[in-house]
Amino acid sequence: MKIIADRRTCDGLGMCEAMAHEFFQVGEDGLVEVLDESPPEEHRELVNAAVDACPVAALRLQG
Ligand code: SF4
């Protein structure tokens, strides 16, 4: 699985970081940074929940 983040859409609201700080962080520029773009499969549920939590749909999972 691969995390795709659309930084043009991100509003820096930080829901993804709050849900899964191991994988997402709002950077100094106020936009999401993906800390691990290819998380281990065992984290799928957590990553999926964080992706779904984004209020502006800036995140998606591939694979
Ligand atoms: S939840 Fe969405 S808008 Fe908020 S920081 Fe994450 S990607 Fe950006």
**What are the extents of the domains in the chain?**
2-62
Per-residue pLDDT of the chain (63 residues; tens, 9 = 90+): 999 999 999 999 999 999 999 999 999 999 999 999 999 999 999 999 999 999 999 999 999
If you measure from the C-alpha of residue 10 to the centroid of ligand 1, how many angstroms do you get, rounded to a whole number? Answer: 5
Which residue's CA is the closest to the ligand 1 atom numbered 1? 54
Residue with CA closest to ligand 1 atom 6 = 16
CB 53 within 8 A of CB 10: no
Task: Write out the H or E segment, with its range, that includes residue 25.
Answer: strand 24-26
What is the helix (H) or strand (E) element at residue 49, kind and residue range? Answer: helix 44-53
Three-state DSSP class for residue 60: strand
Residue 47 contacts residue 23 (beta carbons within 8 Å): yes
32 lines ligand 1 (CB under 6 A): yes
Asked if 17 and 25 touch (Cβ cutoff 8 Å), the reply is yes
Q: 2-62 has which fold?
A: Alpha-Beta Plaits (3.30.70)
pTM of the model as a whole: 0.95
